[in-house]
Structure 1
Amino acid sequence: MSRLGHKIKAGLLQVHSILGLVLALLLCLIALTGAIMSFEDEIVDHLNAGIMQVAPRTTPALMPDELVTRLKAGVDVGKVAAMTLSSDPSAAVHVRFARDEQGARPSSLYVDPYDAHVLGVPRGEEFFATVRRLHRWLLIPGDAKGWGRQITGIAALGLIVMLVSGLVLRWPRRAGHVKMWLKPNLGLSGRGLHRSLHAVIGTWVLPIYLVMTLTGLWYSFDWYKDGVVWLLSRPQVSAAKMQPKQPRAAGRPEPVQAVGFDRAWSTLLREEGGHFSRALLTLPGGPGTVLRIRSWGKETTLDTTRDEFRIDAVTGQIVSADRYAEKTLGEKIIANLLDIHRGAVLGWPGKLAFMMAAALMPLFAITGVLLYLSRRKLRRPAQPALGRLVPGE
């Protein structure tokens, strides 16, 4: 290797080591919380299997507004913000509530769709909500509007630099070294073993870490999101998504009009018919009458593969319809970013592989610190033994 090549590699090693030391704990926290959430859906469904199903009846299920009225008459609940309805006559209705005046969100409820009887509070919901906030925003106040969002994004950018620099440092000089490049030498000990584990296993998980970071940046930086939308979406879709929101007129608050679910629900039933398996209806968070409805088809296996509608709750008119089948390949990639981020697009084997890769992050932190300390020790000049010193030394 040339002298310039040695200098470049030495510089990359310094960058790789410094970033690793600075970001080690933060990356471990983000990775381990992500690993915990890998099979969240399966765990929550298992924990709540007894309250998610009801016995089908011959009588029709209640309309959403009637269900909310009966629910409020039976128990003291807060303002209903959203509910998940299903085409399955044996599926319970999942009701979610808006935040109270203190900013806390009451626990959701599973409700019998035929008589609004409360079946129970879902177990595991609060735990995974806390883990999710820790993973995305580090529990920093403000959640998505706080500094935690930018900090996790900076950590992701740092990890990308570490991955690229680590790949360059590991690149084999000859093709014959590839086998050694991908096979850890477990017969070594000390520094040699640490280096082998850090480098070889890091090479195995490098593609997964790149996918995780490149998709995770979507949730941290608006400039990154806008760039991805511009790159992968059709021009008209890109322009619509990047259109800034119009500010409200100062001193002229919009009147708050009470809205319900029924008209929008009836419109969705008319439009989707028997093609959907479940639908999430979300009331507007502020002034306005337009509901957001996410609808999943019966053949859908991914949470992000869904249609999305905006329907006026007063008139029942469709304001917009964003159907998954009509998206381009790039727009489908954007729609599935979350499932790509966690490996769900590859089914449960993909989720398992991504979970294991995330769980291995502490290995790289520990071996990286040990390699750094041993490297400093090797660079330290040897001290002469005291017993061999002579006068004047």
Structure 2
Amino acid sequence: MKKKKKYGFRKLINDIHLWIGLISGIIVFIVCLTGTILTFEHEIKALFSESLEITPSGKKISLTELKENLSKELGKEAIISSVTLQEKSTAPYEFRVKQSPKERRGTTYFVDPYTGASLVPKKTSADDFMFSMFKLHRWLLVDSKIGRPIVGIATILFLILSISGIVLWFPKKLKWKNFKAGFKIKTKANWKRVNHDLHNTLGFYSCILILIMGLTGLCWSFEGYRNGLSVVMGTKVFGNRGGNQVNTVTHENLPTISYEKAMAIADQSLPYQGKTAINFPNTNNAYYSIRKYNEDNWSPVTSDQVLIDIYGNVLKKELFAEKPLNVQIASLIKPIHTGEIYGVFSKILYFLACLIGTSLPITGTLIWLNKMKKKKRA
């Protein structure tokens, strides 16, 4: 008569991994599948949308005139809050327009800087599809107050699954020959063994990126988590959303500078080529907030910033490279989560990791079903 095996630590971890996987499997599958698609969101949209490239001819119209013309076209209620100037000469100017001061994002209007003509991109089915994927990823297509915490709880469970999966990946006897099996997929074995290796090996290779995506993704699900992470990091996550706190003094007798002059001052402070985003002065902030993205930088999403008051004085200059490491990481939470941090290279890695994450609930369920069949036969 065989002795009954003791219920040890490994068995406990296995049961936790199993039941959490069965409980959260469907939501994890949906979140990972939509995350896989959203990794290349901009590229998919660009593939289906018409090209807005312009033909350079003659001299560019001044930014002041372009903004005034667009303001007349849209009416007094429209607030033109910012403009983005791409490095390519064939790219139009991108004006951000809000219908009210409370509006957060606004609408983008593309303008030909040589003719002043507004270029209106046609909305494609890809835009609607990607927005649906975004809502499914963040809120499961239900009200955000309900869907956001559900996705957040599923993310926490997925993090527990990842950690318990790493523990189970390690062999009982820590010898190199036992480790080797966990690094490869035995393709010539039967389908059950292949399925097990797909779950075990691919899960191990993707676990680091899955943990990164999960830990950063919780910032959007729970405010308490985001505040706690801010305390741990020693700086506020998403801290720049409220704008910059800069004291300015208005002088009625002093002449104000033009938009072109503000850009020239910014180029002197940040003397390199790259995309430039300009936030115009408004009733709350009497200064220009200009961000510049160095095209030769290690990351396409990092930027330097200079604040210039309406009289041409540089109020503040922030270089990303000079910020403390914790501040750099906190400001990059979103691109770290989406995979945009290193451009196309990191996007490919995130795409593969999300694809593996999508497969894990399927392969894991098949492993469980096979074990249940074995028990019935026994």
Shorter-chain TM-score category? 0.7 to 0.9
Does the 8 Å contact 2:262/2:288 carry over to 1? no
Size of the alignment, in residue pairs? 355
1 CA distance for matches of 2:296 and 2:113? Answer: 23
Match of 1:278 in 2: 275
Spell out, residue by residue over 1:336-390, the C-alpha distance to the aligned partner (whole angstroms, 9 max, x if none): 33333344445533321220221223321112222223333444486xxxxxxxx
Q: Indicate how the Cα distance of structure 1 residues 244 and 134 shifts in structure 2: closer, same or farther if over 3 A, else same.
A: closer
Match of 1:157 in 2: 156
Match of 2:134 in 1: 132
1 CA distance for matches of 2:317 and 2:141? Answer: 35
Spell out, residue by residue over 1:57-112, the C-alpha distance to the aligned partner (whole angstroms, 9 max, x if none): 2x343224x323323444679544432124554431112333679x8987533211
Does the 8 Å contact 1:108/1:121 carry over to 2? no
Does the 8 Å contact 2:276/2:292 carry over to 1? yes
Does the 8 Å contact 2:166/2:204 carry over to 1? yes
Q: Structure 1: where are the runs of 5+ without partners?
A: 246-260, 383-393
State the 1:177 CA deviation. 0.8
Alignment of 1:81-120 (within 5 A): 81-86=81-86, 88-98=88-98, 108-120=108-120
Match of 2:250 in 1: none
1 CA distance for matches of 2:308 and 2:6? Answer: 61
One-letter amino acid matched to 2:94: H
State the 1:324 CA deviation. 0.6
Does the 8 Å contact 2:294/2:300 carry over to 1? no
Match of 2:248 in 1: none
State the 1:165 CA deviation. 0.8
State the 1:121 CA deviation. 1.3
Does the 8 Å contact 1:264/1:311 carry over to 2? no
State the 1:30 CA deviation. 1.8
One-letter amino acid matched to 2:304: D
Match of 1:361 in 2: 357
2 CA distance for matches of 1:126 and 1:68? Answer: 29
Match of 2:246 in 1: none
Spell out, residue by residue over 1:10-53, the C-alpha distance to the aligned partner (whole angstroms, 9 max, x if none): 22222212221222222222222222222334444555573133
Does the 8 Å contact 1:26/1:155 carry over to 2? yes
Using structure 1 for the length normalisation, give the TM-score. Answer: 0.74
Does the 8 Å contact 1:56/1:89 carry over to 2? no
Give the secondary structure class of the aligned counterpart of 2:96.
strand
Does the 8 Å contact 2:294/2:303 carry over to 1? yes
Does the 8 Å contact 2:229/2:237 carry over to 1? no
Q: Does 1:341 align with 2:340?
A: no
1 CA distance for matches of 2:6 and 2:55? Answer: 68
State the 1:305 CA deviation. 0.7
Q: Does 1:329 align with 2:325?
A: yes
2 CA distance for matches of 1:291 and 1:283? Answer: 5
One-letter amino acid matched to 1:98: K
Match of 2:12 in 1: 11
Q: Indicate how the Cα distance of structure 1 residues 367 and 327 shifts in structure 2: closer, same or farther if over 3 A, else same.
A: same
Give the secondary structure class of the aligned counterpart of 1:360.
helix
Give the secondary structure class of the aligned counterpart of 2:189.
coil
Using structure 2 for the length normalisation, give the TM-score. Answer: 0.76
1 CA distance for matches of 2:347 and 2:370? Answer: 36
Alignment of 1:72-83 (within 5 A): 72-74=71-73, 79-83=79-83
Alignment of 1:206-355 (within 5 A): 206-233=207-234, 238=235, 266-273=261-268, 274-282=271-279, 292-300=289-297, 302-309=299-306, 320-355=316-351
